[in-house]
């Protein structure tokens, strides 16, 4: 789920200082200069308000020469190197992403001077998380991953747009073209929004949908990387002790960002902001370790977060809770012996009256499962055919929990209904509905079939 952290309410009282930003850019990239500046200004402002003022008077951004990409994406105090392609579609967040990321290193490793070889995640991972927050805040929650046909639109309306997951916390509502609304109605609505990785991967294929905007938000991007090898290592290792380069990368960057996004989900955005700010303020120009970070979290939140950190940083168990089964049946009439001595009567199956099919008084059963080894309390939401949804809490400790209770006809159940636990490795098993909706599958099958036809047609033309 994408979230945009807000500027603290007292932000106007936080005085940021002037910074002279110099951009050294190659002539062939001159058209991207404003985008570099914009990105730097967004970063200066967000990092400044969220964590603390950028204390230096200058910042120099270097655009590496063609063929010198290896020199790009580097960070030194007050000097960063970025990187750009000549063709950089406006909504792909490149060069913005790398410019903001390298700026972020002024904070995470520059001022909060952690040990890069021994605790790379404190640097790259914290910076990935912060970069994502700035990108979401400055440019909206989504990043386009394919934009192969920029400008392909009809009267300014995208020819086809995929429904986005509505996000109540988003500052900017997603744009909804007229065509998109029409397509929702006739074709895409039955599927509805999704954050399923496999489906999103298909959705991003340009031949599938001819979409000029295929959004992948920051969290989905991190998840895609983390899920390549979620159990190869524990998150915190010394750089040279990870299984391989890929595991070093996914743990140091994406998994740490997901860990922090999950912590944000648990604490709430405001307390998370306060925590990150406290960590920066307390440890800038020092050399903190992960122990210092964890102590700062406990100190600021007033909570003991050791169970979370033990599993999320020093463990490799998967966080995966699911709704495994769900039913809502008419309640059976009671059977057995009833009444006091003398007036005792026996109700048997044969004699029992058929229970009325009363939708307001059903026997609802929900089976929740913990599929991974990561133990964390779960919020559960039960939705009914009528009436308000109900909330339950589960400590999540034992392997399963079953609710068996009377109530209105149950429609669906969901664990982690707000999607707070970004580390949950399978979001698609988080909910279950009593009635299946085959239209979702049929819609996807039709889209896949259409996509395959296009691919075959395309290659038959080029060969
Ligand atoms: Zn970095």
Find the 54 Cα to ligand 1 centroid distance in Å. Answer: 18
**pLDDT for residue 89:** 65
211 or 450, which is more confident?
A: 450
Q: Based on the fold, state whether residues 39 and 119 are members of the same structural domain.
A: yes
122, part of any domain: yes
220-235 residue pLDDT tens: 889 989 999 999 999 9
Burial category of 357 from C-beta neighbours within 10 Å (exposed 0-12, middle 13-18, buried 19 and up): exposed
Out of 283, 312, 341, a domain closes at 312
Distance between CA 83 and CA 81 in Å, rounded?
7
- Domain match, 271 and 124 both: yes
**Same-domain pairing of 338 and 308:** no
| pLDDT, tens digit, 9 for 90 and up, residues 50-79 | 999 999 999 999 999 888 888 999 999 999
pLDDT grade for 281, boundaries at 50, 70 and 90: very high
Q: Are 369 and 399 in contact (CB under 8 A)?
A: yes
Domain final residue, candidates 288, 312, 336: 312
* DSSP annotation of 449: H
Same domain, 352 and 391: yes
16 near 53, Cβ under 8 Å? yes
Alpha-carbon gap, residue 208 to 242, rounded angstroms: 37
**C-alpha of residue 105 to centroid of ligand 1, in Å:** 7
Average pLDDT over residues 447-454: 77
Q: What is the pTM of this model?
A: 0.79
pLDDT tens digit sequence for 241-280: 999 999 999 999 999 999 999 999 999 999 999 999 999 9
Answer positive or negative: Cα dihedral of 239, 306, 104, 79. negative
Q: Determine the distance separating the centroid of ligand 1 and the alpha carbon of 25, expressed in angstroms.
A: 21
Average pLDDT of span 451-460: 77
- For 254, residues 6+ apart whose C-beta sits below 8 A from its C-beta are 125, 128, 221, 222, 223, 224, 225, 226
**Backbone conformation region of residue 224, classed left if phi is above 0, alpha if psi is from -120 to 50, else beta:** alpha
Give 389 Cα–ligand 1 centroid separation in angstroms.
Answer: 43
pLDDT at res. 228: 93
Q: Are residues 229 and 368 in the same domain?
A: no
Expressed in angstroms and rounded, the spacing between residue 115 Cα and the centre of ligand 1 is 13
Regarding whether 334 and 292 lie in a shared domain, the answer is no
Same domain, 119 and 262: yes
CA of 153 from ligand 1 middle (Å) equals 36
CA of 124 to the centre of ligand 1 (A): 5
C-alpha of residue 252 to centroid of ligand 1, in Å: 10
Residue 139 lies in a domain: yes
* Joined tokens for residue 130: 């912060």
CATH number, residue 68 = 1.10.390.10
Asked if residue 349 and residue 308 are part of one domain, the reply reads: no
More confident residue, 148 or 326: 326
Give the mean pLDDT of the chain. 83
pLDDT above 60: residue 178: no
User: What's the token pair of residue 58?
Assistant: 């200058």
Cα(75) to ligand 1 centroid in Å equals 8
Domain boundary among 289, 312, 335: 312
State the distance from the centre of ligand 1 to the C-alpha of 239, rounded, in angstroms: 14
- Least Cα distance to 321 among 231, 411, 233, 397 occurs for 397
C-alpha 449/C-alpha 455 separation (Å) is: 10
Q: Is the pLDDT of residue 300 over 60?
A: yes
E strand or H helix at 307? helix 306-312
Predicted local distance difference test score (pLDDT) of residue 172: 47
What distance in angstroms lies between residue 79's CA and the mean position of ligand 1's atoms? Answer: 13
Residue 333, domain member (yes or no): yes
- The reply to whether 438 falls in a domain is no
Give the rounded distance of the alpha carbon of 290 from its chain centre. Answer: 23
Distance 78 CA to ligand 1 centre (A): 15
* pLDDT score recorded for residue 331: 82
Is residue 112 assigned to a domain? yes
One domain for residues 328 and 375: yes
60 three-state secondary structure? strand
Q: Are 28 and 53 in contact (CB under 8 A)?
A: no
| C-alpha closest to that of 403 among 377, 427, 381 | 381
Residue 326: partners with Cβ closer than 8 Å, 6 or more residues away: 365, 366, 367, 410, 412, 413, 432, 433, 434
Q: Are residues 287 and 382 in the same domain?
A: no
Q: In total, how many domains does the chain have?
A: 2
Distance between Cα 202 and ligand 1 center (Å): 29
**Domain for residue 192, yes or no?**
no
Q: Whole domain around residue 350: which residue ranges?
A: 321-420
What's the 255 CA to ligand 1 centre distance in angstroms? Answer: 14
303 and 408 together in one domain:
no
pLDDT tens column, 132-164: 999 989 987 655 544 444 444 443 334 444 444
Instruction: Tell me: do 111 and 61 sit in the same domain.
Output: yes
CA of 101 to the centre of ligand 1 (A): 6
Whether 443 maps to a domain, the answer reads: no
Q: Which residue has the tokens 């996807």?
A: 444
- 23 domain residue, yes or no: yes
């Amino acid at each position: 789920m994408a979230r945009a952290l807000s500027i603290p309410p007292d932000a106007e009282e936080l005085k940021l200082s002037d910074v002279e930003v110099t951009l050294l850019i190659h002539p062939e990239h001159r058209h991207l200069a404003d985008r570099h500046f914009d990105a730097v200004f967004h970063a200066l402002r967000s990092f400044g308000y969220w964590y603390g003022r950028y204390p230096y008077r200058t910042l120099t951004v270097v655009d590496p020469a063609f063929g010198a990409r290896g020199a790009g994406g580097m960070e030194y105090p007050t000097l960063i190197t970025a990187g750009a392609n000549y063709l950089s579609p406006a909504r792909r967040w490149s060069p913005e992403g790398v410019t903001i990321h390298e700026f972020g290193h002024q904070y995470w490793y520059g001022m909060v001077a952690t040990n890069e070889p021994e605790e790379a995640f404190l640097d790259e991972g914290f910076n990935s998380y912060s970069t994502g927050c700035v990108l979401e805040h400055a440019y909206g929650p989504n990043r386009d991953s394919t934009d192969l046909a920029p400008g392909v639109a009809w009267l300014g309306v995208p020819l086809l747009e995929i429904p986005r997951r509505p996000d109540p916390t988003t500052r900017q509502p997603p744009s909804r073209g007229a065509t998109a609304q029409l397509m929702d109605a006739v074709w895409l609505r039955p599927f509805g929004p999704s954050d399923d990785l496999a489906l999103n991967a298909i959705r991003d294929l340009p031949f599938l949908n001819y979409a000029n905007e295929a959004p992948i938000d920051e969290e989905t991007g991190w998840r895609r990387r983390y899920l390549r090898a979620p159990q190869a290592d524990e998150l915190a290792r010394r750089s040279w002790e990870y299984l391989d380069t890929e595991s070093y990368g996914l743990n140091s960057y994406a998994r740490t960002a997901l860990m922090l996004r999950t912590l944000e989900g648990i604490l709430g955005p405001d307390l998370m902001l306060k925590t990150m700010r406290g960590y920066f303020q307390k440890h800038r120009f020092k050399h903190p370790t992960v122990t210092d970070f964890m102590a700062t979290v406990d100190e600021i939140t007033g909570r003991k977060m050791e169970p979370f950190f033990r599993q999320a940083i020093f463990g490799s168990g998967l966080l995966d809770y699911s709704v495994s089964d769900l039913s809502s049946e008419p309640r059976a009439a009671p059977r057995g012996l009833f009444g006091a001595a003398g007036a005792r009567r026996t109700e048997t199956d044969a004699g029992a009256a058929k229970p009325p099919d009363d939708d307001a008084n059903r026997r609802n059963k929900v089976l929740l499962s913990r599929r991974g080894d990561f133990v964390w309390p779960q919020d559960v939401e039960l939705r009914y055919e009528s009436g308000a949804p109900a909330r339950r809490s589960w400590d999540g400790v034992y392997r399963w929990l079953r609710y068996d209770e009377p109530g209105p006809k149950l429609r669906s159940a969901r664990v982690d209904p707000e999607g707070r636990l970004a580390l949950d490795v399978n979001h698609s098993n988080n909910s279950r509905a009593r009635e299946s909706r085959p239209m979702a599958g049929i819609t996807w099958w039709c889209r896949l079939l259409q996509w395959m036809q296009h691919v075959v047609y395309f290659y038959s033309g080029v060969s």
